A and B are shown apart, each in its own frame.
Chain A
């Protein structure tokens, strides 16, 4: 008992932390039980977004995760399979009785867009994304990714939170819980929904679940600002100042009466931070200062409204990273309008649907890569391009589209700490199943955390009886992709 309290006091002395610390202290009393003791981030409640040291020297400081909602087809974009072209119109061997998400299979169908060699490396990438393809020499592909679920919601959950079930924190929340942020007048974790709407799993991507609410992602984009950021029109600037002054006076009085209450100090700090955030977050969304060349690079003024909207979001991502925001999750595709209309799903008429979605994605993402590179931001920023799962190399029986396929698909990384012009793992000759160096979403998460200087096995949070991790009880850093 005595030891227990001593541990607790030591901990509090180090951390001044109110956040969940009480649940943790008794665990510290059991020190030695776990092979790898969790490393607790020391969080000052008054400065929750302050930078915190990683577990070891990081290769990347911040992350942009581009998330393609609806499940992008790997065989039509980044995973080139000559055998699939050759066997076009023939059955997928061994798939006679195969039932995937929506049912039985038709025949193999070659990529709907032609693949061409790109860059010095000659990496084959399809004409659906010709602008992104220009960066082949900067990209690091993982072709052997696998997912646990083949339905959209659970699979989106897994790619972001590691779990297919609802109610687990996303990678953005985990990272900002561990590391804080390099700028403390902005939310540390920003989720940028597509201009067409939110992805199927919606706020599950940016809810902090059982992590403290301060690590929720703040969802806003170029057209929809942070809710409640702006002073209401009916309140004059001086009235607002008057309100805040009285709040400050009353709150400081409370703190004086209850010295040492970290919550009371934190509240005073939170109102000061809020005032700074009002300025900083309004400024970040204002793109007036960007040159025409930059705007055109992204396609911000494109006549295609959805493309222009997504381009603005890509530019917003750069501006956030530039200011030191730790984690940006940038969504392409929404579920607001159902299959094929607003996202990368494509069961029935995939060619028609992708012809719409390809151009919305391509130039803005390429522009972002180009801009990050030109400004030297790619040195410290990791870009991770992910989706829910892949799609079948076959068409569905009686349809002109590809069914869900969690058995093998492609994600790619670029920027800080990863190899350039590198491809890791492979699917089989048709692109159906991961066959070489099969990797999991846990591995991907472990690798991203590793690049940020975090040991995925030691970043945990005690909830309902379990030390919860982003990677559950799995995951290995994919060392081969590290530069």
Chain B
């Protein structure tokens, strides 16, 4: 299966632009092999323009064969296209005719081994220019973060349990979850209104309110007379004194919240109504916004003593009607009165996690990990701040110790010493030996510290690791290394599942009144910067391939991926041009850059010759070598070998300019001569292979369609962008292609802009030898079939175009048939009609109308043939 690639068009635009700009051909070739490294991202669309099988089964032999076929497409197409050599023939054995060994084939495969079929971000042309700008923005954001980190909410050691309405029912008695009480369960999730304003889906919050914690709320469509109905319960599995915070989607009616101490909804005497809430308002009492689904924020519902079985029940209000539910927070009650909002800190990330606390004297700091989001804990850096300075650095005399270390320290990138070496990233990190562990820093002297910062992978480059993040941890300080005092922990952090949505909980606690304005100012500036940065750095996706550092390449015995032989280092063909031998571990991009240079090296005799032959082929219908992608021994012999060599030399001499070559060829006597035949010529060379006349030929399907549109006057010359479709839309699992039967103006562009599905031919033009794009088609056949005749006589496209041409003729030449015919002959044939043609044409018009004459005209040899 091989689906449409709706984002493949940037490569088409690139090719058209390059040809129009007369980009030097050698550069054009290089960019199609390694454009991502040469400032022409779209060029690499070439590499992944071929077919590939997207249905990957479980069977390993199948997968290996599929990959081998992908690689084969790259190697053989590159060889055919640029070198005019059937390199692909050497997949299973040495080439039978040309000096290409099987090893050569696998050397070339090694070049492409890291190429994968995929979309990739398409960086715009000014991406480089913007780089300085984005760099500055990143620096400013980093500075703001540093400033704001002073105001990070201070850690609280008391525990928070957030129970969101989309949690599944508890699977074990002691598990957290939510239960649909009403049966059948009618509560359905509804997304919040999109946007970033207060309560909207992507509300990031600010210093006065929390970000939107729920992506959706749950809705019950109870009738207005159904009061006192139990819909739903939150089962937090916490005991002791808790502050309860309620939230909902602010737009419905009324709801009541019942605390059920024993967790059995049927026993009533332990139930207590703790809140009765007008759900048409926000938690702060302000009115909801009509037509908007917004999160209410948290409303305080008192402090209550819970048992581990206690549940909170949602019950419809006194008047019944729809009711909604969202997250409820159970906050362990400390002595102090609650703030206006609950205390929560952002989920931990692989990047810097700030642990702020009241200033404390310390000589030792210990970071103990009880659990991670997967794998043994990893810390790339543990920092301890005293007055804005990291005092934990080894270079300042701090000492680091740990519970243990991954692989007992035999892995050079995971070392205990990396935890305070001042270097970020996985490659300079510590990993514990087991699922738990600790790190300890002994400061050179006693310091007054107020924050600890730690991270999993703060690497600036490459893909950051996001596993092994500490999710359950404790930060303690000590003066003597014996008596420890806890200063921060994971107890007040949002669970790690919120990480994708909630990157930050803007400061809610720990900010005094005078600082609040400053925090707000920085927060706002940061939001603006982040938005701009996103705009500058998020690029559209395009089908240009993805590149990965590959594993080894092996020669495959008889081409069988299940029979690998010796490992082969990447390189060029050994019998052509300059030597290109790369090391086995050459970085992926360097391989392609090297091949790109090798292909266009002046020592390479093939690339220029192949291209000038193609130019000749397209101008004359047949190349000097009539097998344009095979100039090898098994290909055609050149009809004019000296000419081919001379053209190739001229091509390089003229700076690989294609337009210069077009001009040269089209100004030649050979090109400008008539196609008229004479007996002597026909007798000696009826096919005009030696060009004693210009050889005639039927024009190809695409220019034929373009020509019809041009003559009927509707051709849309808009360049660039996504293509148009000649098939009906269809979203079947395996798309069923039905040719369109009606053609709107969107399909009147040049056929190069058709979104061409592989191996699907259009009902009208498919009969005109259009390659089906399953395999490359260096030279197409040209046949004449009765179906072509039927298509041009009867298809809705042909009928429509005949009608459009008729309308054009009437508009441009008036009502007189004679003038209409003359104009039509000029448009279609660039000549005036002869007397008999004129009378036959006007006769048809008088009998059956102008459109029938136009229908006839489009079916004639003279219209379809290049003379």
Q: Within 8 Å of chain B (Cβ to Cβ): is A286? A: no
Chain A interface, number of residues (Cβ within 8 angstroms)? 101
Q: Within 8 Å of chain A (Cβ to Cβ): is B145? A: no
Q: Within 8 Å of chain A (Cβ to Cβ): is B788? A: yes
Q: Using Cβ atoms and an 8 Å threshold, which residues of chain A touch B859?
A: 243, 247, 271
Do A167 and B848 touch (CB < 8 A)?
no
Which residue of chain B has its CB nearest to the CB of A473?
B92
**Interface residue from A153, A268, A464 paired with B778 (Cβ < 8 Å):** A464
State whether A254 and B89 are in contact (beta carbons under 8 Å apart), knowing that A234-B799, A273-B786, A465-B635 are contacts in the complex. no
CB distance from B781 to the nearest CB of A (A): 4
**Interface residue from A9, A48, A227 paired with B783 (Cβ < 8 Å):** A48
State whether A466 and B790 are in contact (beta carbons under 8 Å apart), knowing that A8-B687, A27-B636, A242-B848 are contacts in the complex. no
For the complex of A and B, the 5 pairs showing the least CB-CB separation, nearest first, are A167-B774, A166-B774, A167-B775, A465-B630, A465-B86
* A11–B778 alpha-carbon span in the complex (Å): 24
State whether A150 and B840 are in contact (beta carbons under 8 Å apart), knowing that A166-B772, A207-B761 are contacts in the complex. no
* A263–B686 alpha-carbon span in the complex (Å): 13
B contacts with A: majority SS? loop
Q: How many A-B residue pairs have CB under 8 A?
A: 294
Please encode chain A, from 71 to 109, with 1 for each CB lying within 8 Å of some chain B CB and 0 for all others.
000000000000000000000000000011111000000
* A98–B57 alpha-carbon span in the complex (Å): 13
A-to-B contact residues, CB < 8 Å: 4-5, 8-9, 12, 18-23, 26-27, 29-30, 45, 48, 99-103, 149-154, 164-168, 187, 197-198, 200, 202-204, 207, 209-216, 218, 226-232, 234-236, 238-240, 242-247, 249-251, 253-255, 258-261, 263-264, 266-271, 273-274, 277-278, 335-338, 404, 462-466
Do B774 and A204 touch (CB < 8 A)?
yes
CB distance from A154 to the nearest CB of B (A): 6
* A102–B57 alpha-carbon span in the complex (Å): 6
Q: Using Cβ atoms and an 8 Å threshold, which residues of chain A touch B786?
A: 270-271, 273-274, 277
Chain A interface: which of B226-234, B459-467, B850-858?
Answer: B850-858
Q: Using Cβ atoms and an 8 Å threshold, which residues of chain B touch A270?
A: 784-786, 788-789
**Interface residue from A102, A166, A251, A266 paired with B860 (Cβ < 8 Å):** A251
Q: Using Cβ atoms and an 8 Å threshold, which residues of chain A touch B761?
A: 203, 207, 216
**Interface residue from B55, B687, B768, B834 paired with A22 (Cβ < 8 Å):** B687
Do B739 and A227 touch (CB < 8 A)?
yes
**Interface residue from B682, B689, B847 paired with A8 (Cβ < 8 Å):** B689
Do B789 and A274 touch (CB < 8 A)?
yes
Do A239 and B848 touch (CB < 8 A)?
yes
Do B790 and A242 touch (CB < 8 A)?
no
* A202–B861 alpha-carbon span in the complex (Å): 32
Q: Using Cβ atoms and an 8 Å threshold, which residues of chain A touch B782?
A: 18, 212, 263
Do A336 and B759 touch (CB < 8 A)?
no
* A18–B55 alpha-carbon span in the complex (Å): 40
CB distance from B283 to the nearest CB of A (A): 48
State whether A239 and B774 are in contact (beta carbons under 8 Å apart), knowing that A203-B760, A278-B790 are contacts in the complex. no
Instruction: Give me 22 A-to-B residue pairs in the complex whose CB atoms sit less than 8 angstroms apart, sorted by A's number.
Output: A22-B687, A23-B779, A26-B627, A48-B785, A101-B62, A167-B759, A167-B773, A168-B775, A200-B734, A213-B783, A228-B763, A235-B799, A239-B852, A243-B859, A245-B840, A250-B861, A253-B834, A263-B696, A267-B864, A335-B732, A462-B627, A465-B86
Do A214 and B783 touch (CB < 8 A)?
yes
Q: Using Cβ atoms and an 8 Å threshold, which residues of chain A touch B848?
A: 236, 238-239, 242-243
**Interface residue from B62, B685, B849 paired with A150 (Cβ < 8 Å):** B62
CB distance from B68 to the nearest CB of A (A): 11
State whether A210 and B627 are in contact (beta carbons under 8 Å apart), knowing that A153-B53, A251-B860 are contacts in the complex. no
Q: Using Cβ atoms and an 8 Å threshold, which residues of chain A touch B376?
A: none
**Interface residue from A215, A216, A231 paired with B794 (Cβ < 8 Å):** A231
CB distance from B100 to the nearest CB of A (A): 11
* A204–B385 alpha-carbon span in the complex (Å): 68
Do A466 and B775 touch (CB < 8 A)?
no
State whether A167 and B685 are in contact (beta carbons under 8 Å apart), knowing that A247-B860, A264-B865, A465-B632 are contacts in the complex. no
Do B769 and A212 touch (CB < 8 A)?
yes
CB distance from A103 to the nearest CB of B (A): 4
Do B791 and A228 touch (CB < 8 A)?
yes
Chain B contacts with A in 735-772, Cβ cutoff 8 A: 736-737, 739, 758-761, 763-764, 766-772
CB distance from B733 to the nearest CB of A (A): 5
Q: Using Cβ atoms and an 8 Å threshold, which residues of chain A touch B630?
A: 464-465
* A249–B793 alpha-carbon span in the complex (Å): 16
Interface centre among A29, A218, A229, A253 (most CB of B within 10 A): A253
Chain B contacts with A in 443-478, Cβ cutoff 8 A: none
Do A26 and B626 touch (CB < 8 A)?
yes
Do B764 and A228 touch (CB < 8 A)?
yes
CB distance from B389 to the nearest CB of A (A): 57
State whether A336 and B626 are in contact (beta carbons under 8 Å apart), knowing that A5-B685, A212-B769 are contacts in the complex. no
Do B790 and A100 touch (CB < 8 A)?
no
Please encode chain B, from 826 to 867, with 1 for each CB lying within 8 Å of some chain A CB and 0 for all others.
000000001011001100100111001101110111101101
Q: Using Cβ atoms and an 8 Å threshold, which residues of chain A touch B789?
A: 267, 270-271, 273-274
State whether A250 and B768 are in contact (beta carbons under 8 Å apart), knowing that A229-B794, A266-B784 are contacts in the complex. no
Do B675 and A258 touch (CB < 8 A)?
yes
CB distance from A273 to the nearest CB of B (A): 4
Q: Within 8 Å of chain A (Cβ to Cβ): is B787? A: yes
Do A243 and B856 touch (CB < 8 A)?
yes
Do A464 and B781 touch (CB < 8 A)?
no
Q: Using Cβ atoms and an 8 Å threshold, which residues of chain B touch A19?
A: 781, 783
Do A213 and B769 touch (CB < 8 A)?
yes
Given A207-B772, A335-B734, A338-B732, 9 more A-B residue pairs with CB atoms under 8 Å apart are A101-B57, A151-B53, A153-B2, A166-B772, A211-B781, A243-B859, A247-B859, A464-B80, A464-B775
Q: Within 8 Å of chain A (Cβ to Cβ): is B677? A: yes
* A327–B793 alpha-carbon span in the complex (Å): 27
* A336–B734 alpha-carbon span in the complex (Å): 7
**Interface residue from A8, A154, A215, A250 paired with B53 (Cβ < 8 Å):** A154
Q: Within 8 Å of chain A (Cβ to Cβ): is B698? A: yes
Q: Using Cβ atoms and an 8 Å threshold, which residues of chain A touch B626?
A: 22-23, 26
CB distance from A304 to the nearest CB of B (A): 22
State whether A243 and B793 are in contact (beta carbons under 8 Å apart), knowing that A29-B637, A263-B697 are contacts in the complex. yes
State whether A209 and B774 are in contact (beta carbons under 8 Å apart), knowing that A23-B627, A231-B794 are contacts in the complex. yes
Do A465 and B781 touch (CB < 8 A)?
no
Q: Within 8 Å of chain A (Cβ to Cβ): is B777? A: yes
Do B759 and A250 touch (CB < 8 A)?
no
Do A258 and B677 touch (CB < 8 A)?
yes
CB distance from B84 to the nearest CB of A (A): 9
* A452–B794 alpha-carbon span in the complex (Å): 35
Which residue of chain B has its CB nearest to the CB of A13?
B686
State whether A464 and B86 are in contact (beta carbons under 8 Å apart), knowing that A260-B677, A263-B698 are contacts in the complex. yes
Do B865 and A254 touch (CB < 8 A)?
yes
Q: Using Cβ atoms and an 8 Å threshold, which residues of chain B touch A247?
A: 856, 859-860
Do A210 and B781 touch (CB < 8 A)?
yes
**Interface residue from A9, A232, A250 paired with B799 (Cβ < 8 Å):** A232
* A260–B627 alpha-carbon span in the complex (Å): 25
Do B784 and A465 touch (CB < 8 A)?
no
Interface centre among B682, B788, B847 (most CB of A within 10 A): B788
Do A210 and B775 touch (CB < 8 A)?
yes
Which residue of chain A has its CB nearest to the CB of B864?
A267
Which residue of chain A has its CB nearest to the CB of B683?
A9
Q: Using Cβ atoms and an 8 Å threshold, which residues of chain A touch B774?
A: 165-168, 204, 207, 209
* A277–B789 alpha-carbon span in the complex (Å): 11
Q: Within 8 Å of chain A (Cβ to Cβ): is B622? A: yes
Do A209 and B775 touch (CB < 8 A)?
yes
Do B767 and A216 touch (CB < 8 A)?
yes
CB distance from B769 to the nearest CB of A (A): 4
* A402–B705 alpha-carbon span in the complex (Å): 48
Do B62 and A149 touch (CB < 8 A)?
yes
Interface centre among A202, A209, A261, A335 (most CB of B within 10 A): A261
Q: Using Cβ atoms and an 8 Å threshold, which residues of chain A touch B736?
A: 197-198, 202, 335-336
Do B860 and A250 touch (CB < 8 A)?
yes
* A442–B60 alpha-carbon span in the complex (Å): 24
